[in-house]
Structure 1
């Protein structure tokens, strides 16, 4: 179904999908854009490597950006990935080499500390390169901007003068939010020591705001008067955030619930500096399998590398898409459903009317980055020949004999032209199914013995399969299974009980696939062998 630009624009203006809800608020402020393009920003602290939180924030911001472009009929936009690399190193990360060397540079800006990996000119340069590689890997369309470049080049100088000119007003905003001890040393501007090179947390006196001159006491006790411009000072975090919004002209930035208070204070400071707080969404944070907050210290999260070992990039985007204001449990158990749901929603796109299409997560995901032609391009209704969940069941039954070659040999029972080259998406998922089964499914499988009426029902199923043509369709095989489960002599209170018995005795799990599809994929004779093995345990 082809959708006209006029219908698309009309539907976007009242769509309830959250990216369009965000875009509608931004369009009220900037209905026709602005010179240089409407600016979306996402921030990054380069003391660590990019992670799944980095991915979700850039993805969600990109979704709003694309929705705004649709809503405004193609108004120009830009996305900046901003690295706060003039920040001082507060502690030595535990996962990097040369820790003793880094310890010698505590307090110094990340961009002025040697690279512990000995590959780049600074620690920040290394991690910034990792960020760019990370974003490029997923095809995001962005501009990289670093704090050090902005401070050192003078790009932030006018905004810094405004901070100095409004020094007391900013203190009036910030001091009531701080504890007594912090108030004694707090300054909106943090000078960089001329003797140690460290970012100093000391009181600062403004000598000449217009010239950018400040006075402070250095670490050695000497009183220093120097410029705050040109990279010789940086702003405190909340002031820095506000100053950046004003200096760069940021129109939209989302952030996590943990930064809610920071956003409030930074918004007030932005207004003092003569600007406005950007539009933005406050999103909920990820939780682990127990519903607890994910912590780097506890190591209870799921890394993006782990997700991509067991699931696809698209499935991760699909899982992240759902209501960002609700907390999500992030663990391996959510991956199989996310993979299958992605493909289900992708297959639905061509037949959907405009309103449903704009509410389809995959429609948004296919527009999110520079890699895709767009959600209405040919092939976006592509389907996956075998659901990932069914693939996992097949791998689980194959057990120790499960290999890529073995899986593809069985796929020949179910998929026309069962050639990996003809089905690249499915082929990629074969490797992920093997990994997922190895690490999460196989250790938990335990096939129980059938009992009571289950024994007779399994014998009836075996007899029916023995009489069936090897080419019987998945639907007809499903009907055979249904009819046996409905027979009163076997004593099942519901078909649910019958299928649960099949899963537990044949597959070793409490849940499973449509049995007709599984039998068609695995083959009638191999399924009969599973039944024989189960009956032998009775």
Structure 2
């Protein structure tokens, strides 16, 4: 591995992928193996079910660490998306057809169970294909790896023989974490029953490191001696994880908070085998709207497919990027904020890139702290961003009860004749997303309240001021100053109570937009009419 190259940076960017990349740089620099083999980053996938939002988050975050590492070092780095498709099927998933058929194959390898969808050679192959399609959709660069292929091809043979050599040490370490009855029968080795194909979890009667075999009996007392190599056996998952790190030389792998103890145990096993555990980032888990951990089996929280009905994938990527070590609610109400944060980030980044040659070094490094640089893999997209925020589009849809895109485009074209779906493709997408979000989450919950006495007086004053400027060329900032002035004139304390009145009385919601921009978009006469309607509300 050649020397690390930080010459393009006056200082290391502070964003979390760069913090992780620096750790990876140090690891590669201090490795005993000084070959030019690329740094290896791994992500894991259990194909007993379909890919989900956590899968997206882990691969996306790992990709951003790779991007930062390459920016720092100009060195190659490799991502391996590893599928544990040799695992036994422990229960039938809820979201598949032909459940009765699957129930007949419990505890067999996922790669040797018929596909209930009837499209692939096995259930594991079907879910692996879904994973690859899923990752390709988002443009991730990775190499797919199948546990079945790695075991069967002999790729793990040397590591599996090493497991037998230190079998008792592994049992001693793992045994401390098990209940007494489980501890008495534990072995990291799971032989595949040669007659039934079941992944067996049974006590070992004999371990033979020289021959590379284990001896055991099935539930009927029948005796077997099985090679651990060539796909005739696999390992319990914590030992399997450790063996994989050891066999492949994995340098980096992140995992959820629920696997903290597993990481510690697998790290101990990896060291027993003679390897060095990878750098690990522990990310927090997602919570639903009630603050409960998201569960695939419960169906709480939000899926990728649901998110992408209401916002672009870049907004989801930003949500995954932000603060991975902090628990976050993953529910529909986070979508508008994430979308507008993305629009700001990509706009700021595009501006920096436009003036890149004239920036000071410290300013230039702001590029590498901008999430959009990661989301778009360092290349500013054409026709970037949107001149109108998603929140504002939602408010327009709400106040106009919009059901068709033409209604929103009518307001947008009146505000700025130059905007069109062709000139602003992201805005065009956002219009469609806003209509969908409004229909499902805003319209059913709109609750208007009647204004109080002082609020009526202030609203009347605002309507009068708007009448005075009808037909004049007034911009959003001037409207905003007008709204502020009315709030101060009527001594709203705090001033945000005045804006609360505007949102609750005029828009039927607790929060809302920058109101000057809303007037500029919605129109002066339309806003006056909105106020007059509210003043008559009992």
TM superposition score normalised by structure 1: 0.93
Root-mean-square deviation (CA), in Å? Answer: 1.8
Change (3 A) 1:313 1:162: same
**Corresponding residue for 2:454?**
453
**Corresponding residue for 1:20?**
18
Per-residue deviation, 1:35: 2.8
Aligned counterparts, 1:28-177, within 5 A: 28-31=26-29, 34-72=35-73, 74-177=74-177
Per-residue deviation, 1:146: 0.4
Structure 1 residue ranges without an equivalent (≥5): 368-373
Q: Equivalent residue of 2:168, what SS?
A: helix
Within 2, Cα distance between the matches of 1:324 and 1:129?
Answer: 27
Within 1, Cα distance between the matches of 2:11 and 2:343?
Answer: 24
**Is the 8 Å Cα contact of residues 22 and 280 (structure 1) preserved in structure 2?**
no
Per-residue deviation, 1:206: 4.3
Regions of 4+ moved over 4 Å? 377-380
Per-residue deviation, 1:470: 5.1
**Corresponding residue for 2:267?**
267
**Corresponding residue for 2:252?**
252
Per-residue deviation, 1:310: 1.6
**Corresponding residue for 1:221?**
221
**Is the 8 Å Cα contact of residues 453 and 491 (structure 1) preserved in structure 2?**
no
Change (3 A) 1:206 1:77: farther
**Is the 8 Å Cα contact of residues 109 and 199 (structure 1) preserved in structure 2?**
yes
**Is the 8 Å Cα contact of residues 500 and 510 (structure 1) preserved in structure 2?**
yes
**Corresponding residue for 1:361?**
371
Farther-moved stretch of structure 1 (59-68 vs 298-307): 298-307
Is structure 2 residue 308 aligned with structure 1 residue 308?
yes
Q: Equivalent residue of 2:65, what SS?
A: helix
**Corresponding residue for 1:178?**
178
**Is the 8 Å Cα contact of residues 97 and 116 (structure 1) preserved in structure 2?**
yes
Change (3 A) 1:452 1:366: same
Q: Equivalent residue of 1:10, what SS?
A: coil
Per-residue deviation, 1:365: 2.1
Per-residue deviation, 1:297: 3.3
**Corresponding residue for 2:409?**
408
Within 2, Cα distance between the matches of 1:262 and 1:354?
Answer: 40
**Is the 8 Å Cα contact of residues 99 and 116 (structure 2) preserved in structure 1?**
yes
Per-residue deviation, 1:486: 2.2
**Is the 8 Å Cα contact of residues 385 and 427 (structure 2) preserved in structure 1?**
no
Q: Equivalent residue of 2:451, what SS?
A: coil
**Is the 8 Å Cα contact of residues 164 and 206 (structure 1) preserved in structure 2?**
no
**Corresponding residue for 1:370?**
none
Q: Equivalent residue of 1:144, what SS?
A: strand
Per-residue deviation, 1:424: 0.9
**Is the 8 Å Cα contact of residues 188 and 236 (structure 1) preserved in structure 2?**
yes
Q: Equivalent residue of 1:385, what SS?
A: coil
**Is the 8 Å Cα contact of residues 412 and 418 (structure 1) preserved in structure 2?**
yes
TM superposition score normalised by structure 2: 0.93
Q: Equivalent residue of 1:276, what SS?
A: coil
**Corresponding residue for 1:325?**
325
Per-residue deviation, 1:7: 6.1
**Corresponding residue for 1:430?**
431
Q: Deviations over 1:171-230 (max 9, x none)?
A: 111111111121132111100001211000011244532332221102331111121211
Q: Equivalent residue of 1:294, what SS?
A: coil
Within 2, Cα distance between the matches of 1:110 and 1:470?
Answer: 70
Q: Deviations over 1:55-87 (max 9, x none)?
A: 110011111111111121x11111000000000
Per-residue deviation, 1:436: 1.2
Change (3 A) 1:345 1:8: farther
Within 1, Cα distance between the matches of 2:52 and 2:368?
Answer: 28
Is structure 2 residue 466 aligned with structure 1 residue 465?
yes
Q: Equivalent residue of 2:29, what SS?
A: coil
Is structure 2 residue 466 aligned with structure 1 residue 480?
no
**Corresponding residue for 1:371?**
none
Farther-moved stretch of structure 1 (213-222 vs 91-100): 213-222
Within 1, Cα distance between the matches of 2:218 and 2:381?
Answer: 64
Q: Deviations over 1:126-182 (max 9, x none)?
A: 000000000000000000000000011111111111111111111111111111121
Per-residue deviation, 1:417: 1.9
Q: Equivalent residue of 2:231, what SS?
A: coil
Within 1, Cα distance between the matches of 2:87 and 2:463?
Answer: 69
Q: Equivalent residue of 2:533, what SS?
A: helix
Q: Equivalent residue of 2:85, what SS?
A: coil
Q: Deviations over 1:299-354 (max 9, x none)?
A: 22111111111222111111121221111111111111111111112222234813
Farther-moved stretch of structure 1 (179-188 vs 146-155): 179-188
Within 1, Cα distance between the matches of 2:537 and 2:207?
Answer: 88
Is structure 2 residue 386 aligned with structure 1 residue 395?
no
Q: Deviations over 1:92-126 (max 9, x none)?
A: 11111111111110010000000000100000000
Within 2, Cα distance between the matches of 1:211 and 1:365?
Answer: 50
Structure 2 residue ranges without an equivalent (≥5): 353-361
**Is the 8 Å Cα contact of residues 27 and 251 (structure 2) preserved in structure 1?**
no
**Is the 8 Å Cα contact of residues 164 and 207 (structure 2) preserved in structure 1?**
no
Within 2, Cα distance between the matches of 1:470 and 1:147?
Answer: 69
Q: Equivalent residue of 1:504, what SS?
A: helix
Farther-moved stretch of structure 1 (217-226 vs 385-394): 217-226
Within 2, Cα distance between the matches of 1:393 and 1:378?
Answer: 27
**Is the 8 Å Cα contact of residues 385 and 426 (structure 2) preserved in structure 1?**
no
**Is the 8 Å Cα contact of residues 477 and 519 (structure 1) preserved in structure 2?**
yes
